[in-house]
Amino acid sequence: MGKNDRDPDDSELFRQAIGPVRELPAAAPPPQKPKPKARAAMAERDETEALSEFRRAMARDDLESGDALSYRRDEVPPRVLQRLRRGLYAAQDELDLHDSDAQAAEGLLREFLLQARHAGFGCVRVIHGKGLNSGSAVPVLKNLVDRVLRQRADVLAFHSAPPAQGGTGAVLVLLAKR
């Protein structure tokens, strides 16, 4: 006998045997571990990498008063840096940072580079001094100039000036064209 072959009275007999039925209230779902808050994993990773890069840049050895500043972007040929080191590029403008504190010097340097680029200058000289009278173990302005110049996209290369143009107390900066 199949399911459909049952006598309709069977289901009625079952209901009578059971009695009145009431529906149970819906049970609350079992407690679950709370879901973690959504977070921007890529942004956190980028922030971590940027902070790590910043710490590496700040932790690198400070320049001493006699050390030469030197830097060139990868797209700049090495011979350009050699010519800059020899002073073969004429500085079209000059900024003297002597007697400036670090905060003022940074502002002056950024403004000077901006104006030099707008004027279309290709090479400028920044005099930072050797730091012999700075009152600290390291030349503050020299290290500041080195850090700022490395961060700027408009600076193609820089090198300490030849002795006749200020030596390790000045730097020649090659700027990108506007």
Tell me which amino acid residue 90 is.
A
Cα 150 from chain centroid (whole Å): 12
Nearest to 167 by CA among 63, 69, 64: 69
Which pLDDT tens digit goes with each residue over 105-117?
A: 999 999 999 999 9
Task: Tell me the pairing of strands 170-175 and 123-127.
Answer: antiparallel
| Domains defined along the chain, listed by start | 67-175 (3.30.1370.110)
Q: What is the pLDDT of residue 171?
A: 94
Which pLDDT tens digit goes with each residue over 6-44?
A: 566 888 888 888 888 888 888 888 888 888 888 888 888
Structure tokens at 131: 């730091």
Full-prediction pTM beyond 0.85?
A: no
